[in-house]
Amino acid sequence: MSKVVLCYSGGLDTTVCIPLLKERYGFREVITVTVNVGQPEEELKRAEERGKKYADKHYTVDAVDEFVNMIFMLIKANGDYEGYVLGTALARPLIARKVAEIAVKENADAVAHGATGKGNDQLRFDNIFFEYGFKVIAPMRELNLTREWEIEYAMKNGIDIPVTKDKPWSIDENLWSRSVEGGELENPSTVPPEEIYEWTMRKAEEDEIIKIDFEKGIPAALNDERMNGKELIQELNRIGGEHGIGRTDMMEDRVLGLKARENYEHPAATILITAHRDLEKLVLSRRELKFKRFVEEEWAELVYYGLVNDPLFDALNAFIDKTQERVSGWVKLKLGNNYVMPVARDSEYSLYREELVSFDSLGIDQSLAEGFSVFHGLQGRIFRKMMK
């Protein structure tokens, strides 16, 4: 085989893959593709420099706007897998699709990625690559490589790497979240050092209240200032991070059945999902909310598993979009030390009626509830009497 297209992050794993694809697999040409889903500019620049230095050809593809649209989809679904806001999981299929498109353009013989055989990313990448009919090469998985071996290999071969044995963190960052793995973090009994965090270094000394406007489930304005999705998420990452909001340290159930300790930062995600859920409680009926919770769980699992090309995913989104037709209005949230709490909300579609609920207003003839009360719990009372 002569040509392979590599999904390239610029990190240790994928940089080591470049020479390995030639040495171990016999490819004559390695083409790297970095997909921009909101990584820091310096990271994108570093990836481009390394790609051009070590590979035969390099592409950088801008997919930020498409990723923002996927984030909007996630917000409408209150996307959450076991407490994880699905930042990496949501981005992987989009990245894979952009890489596959380059591979088609280049008439490549195969595509490759740097995912291991123990994690979820291999499945998320492979599923999309297989959809395009490509042969998939995964050196980390196929050669059973360890991170320590990779570091030593890179040092011996003069490859510039962003990690050391003392700080072996594997970091994945995009617009929606930042994940940190590896090293001592793999021990669930170890308290993570503060040095792993960047987005949530608390600086704010006082609580503050912010206002978020939604239009059909999509955040549209912050403190009455309209912003596009990217700007709004970036600003909430900044504001929320200053309050220390959005850290997750969890034991996660991977697709393969392995339990893994995962550390995430996601201030904007925490704030937006909290606000969106609160607004939904104001405008959706009890039965809509109950059924939507089941839909959300299935939606999140499909995203986590990388199965966004499954027809069920489209069907779930169709239901979710229908519920979002009335999720318009605003929510005010109090941001404090490591917490966010809704404190006010309003919508023209509100199902709340003060005159019906208030203790200071009749609104409804309370005596009508007596008949309902007689039958409420009837079977339980019959059961208790029978058991006596």
| DSSP secondary structure of 135-157 | EEE-HHHHTT--HHHHHHHHHHT
The pLDDT score that the predictor gives to residue 121 is: 97
Annotate 238-260 with b (16+ C-beta within 10 A) or e (fewer): ebbbbbbbbbbeeebeebeeeeb
Position of tokens 């159930």?
A: 253
355: confidence class by pLDDT, cuts 50, 70, 90: confident
Q: Between these two residues, 168 and 289, which has the higher pLDDT value?
A: 289
Please give the Cα distance from 180 to 262 (Å, whole number).
7
Average pLDDT over residues 315-344: 98
| Range 352-362 average pLDDT | 79
Please say if the pLDDT value at position 387 is more than 80.
yes
Q: Is the predicted pLDDT of residue 131 greater than 90, yes or no?
A: yes
Going by their DSSP bridges, the two strands 3-7 and 110-112 should be labelled as parallel
pLDDT at residue 43, as a whole number: 94
Report residue 166's pLDDT band, with 50, 70 and 90 as the boundaries. Answer: low
The domain ranges of the chain are 3-170, 178-346, 357-387
Residue 162 has pLDDT above 80, yes or no: no
- 144 by Cβ neighbours in 10 Å (0-12 / 13-18 / 19+) ranks as exposed
Confidence grade of residue 59 (pLDDT, cut at 50, 70, 90)? very high
Average pLDDT on 45-59 reads 97
| Helix spans in the chain (H) | 12-23, 41-54, 64-76, 87-105, 121-131, 139-142, 147-156, 229-242, 267-283, 286-305, 311-323, 354-357, 369-375, 378-387
Residue among 120, 130, 41 nearest 88 (CA): 120
Mean pLDDT computed over 25-31:
97
- Which residues are annotated as catalytic? 13, 92, 121, 170
Integer-rounded Cα radius of gyration of the chain: 25
Beta bridge partner(s), residue 95: none
pLDDT at 137 over 90: yes
Query: Quick one: pLDDT band at residue 5, thresholds 50, 70, 90?
Result: very high
Nearest Cα to Cα of residue 262 among 57, 121, 79, 98: 121
Cα distance between the two ends of the chain:
80
pLDDT at residue 1, as a whole number: 65
For residues 12-23, average pLDDT: 96
In this structure, which topology does domain 3-170 adopt according to CATH?
Answer: Rossmann fold (3.40.50)
Q: What DSSP character marks residue 70?
A: H
Give the confidence band of 164 by pLDDT, cuts at 50, 70, 90. low
* 3-class SS of residue 341: strand
Q: Which CATH class is domain 178-346?
A: alpha beta
Among 35, 34, 63, which residue's Cα sits nearest to residue 50?
34
The pLDDT of residue 165: 60
Provide the mean pLDDT of the chain.
Answer: 95
Mean pLDDT across 118-124: 97
pLDDT in tens, 171-188: 899 999 999 998 899 999
Between CA 278 and CA 174 the distance in angstroms is 26
Supply the pLDDT for residue 170: 84
If one compares 357 and 21, the residue with the highest pLDDT of the two is: 21
Among 30-44, 80-94, 147-161, 340-354, whose mean pLDDT is lowest? 147-161
- Output the pLDDT for position 276: 98
Compute the average pLDDT of residues 340-347. Answer: 98
pTM for this entry: 0.94
Give per-residue pLDDT as tens, 206-237. Answer: 999 999 999 999 999 999 999 999 999 999 99
* Number of neighbouring beta carbons within 10 Å of residue 138: 20
For the cut 80, the answer to whether the pLDDT of residue 384 exceeds it is yes
By DSSP bridging, strand 57-62 and strand 110-112 are unpaired
Rounded to whole angstroms, what are the CA distances from 183 to 90, 96, 211, 284? 25, 27, 39, 45
Q: Sorting pLDDT into bands at 50, 70 and 90, what band is 56?
A: very high
